[in-house]
Amino acid sequence: MAQEKDQPKTINEQAENEPLKNEGLTSLPPVQAPPPTLEKKAEIPRTPNRPPVSYPEVVKIQAWWRGTLVRRTLLHAALQVWIIQSWWKQTLVKLDQRRRRAALEIFTRKEWAAVRLQSWVRMWRIRRRYCRLLSAARIIQAYWRCHSCASRGFIKGHYRVTANQLHLELEILLGSGPCIVTECIPLPIKQ
């Protein structure tokens, strides 16, 4: 028992009691060992993302759940894409209808303007011809109405305008007998 009392309880205690035997290396400080720890070091898992191979059921459930999440995400994305595409198709249809309506209105305006212009030109031409014929008839009437000839004859006349003709009747009375001239002049009217 006396020997046990003389023996150091730890390794560090023995190193403190004994002087250094190597006198040549006095310039270096003595190396102290770190104090011993009573705690166990935590085990580092090999791969933190992978479960151990010993649980295949867990792996199957996790794979199923990941697949379900991916399918749900893809379904939501496809639904959103479908909504946007249907909205865009409706917008394109509305724009196409507006373009067609605008083109139809422009075409109708142009056609209506052309028809009105053509009718005005026809009316102007017919009126001009009518006015020339009326002027000619008036000149003839003014010149020949109750005009006495050298043989003491008279010229009388009258005219009548219908929808598409000018009827002109002249009666020339000379000493030998009456001479009646009747003329129908057609007016150019588009039917």
Query: What separation in angstroms does the CA of 35 have from each of 10, 23, 38?
Result: 11, 26, 10
User: Could you report the average pLDDT of every consecutive run of 10 residues in the chain (191 residues)?
Assistant: 55 52 51 57 58 74 94 96 97 97 96 96 94 88 62 72 80 73 77 56
Query: Six-digit token pair at 57?
Result: 């059921």
> How confident is the model at residue 28, as a pLDDT?
52
> How confident is the model at residue 179, as a pLDDT?
78
> How buried is 154 (Cβ within 10 angstroms: 0-12 exposed, 13-18 middle, 19+ buried)?
middle
- Specify the DSSP element, H or E, that contains 55: none
> How confident is the model at residue 184, as a pLDDT?
81
> How confident is the model at residue 25, as a pLDDT?
47
> How confident is the model at residue 180, as a pLDDT?
79
Are 140 and 157 spatial neighbours (Cβ–Cβ below 8 Å)? Answer: yes
Residue with tokens 């479908």: 82
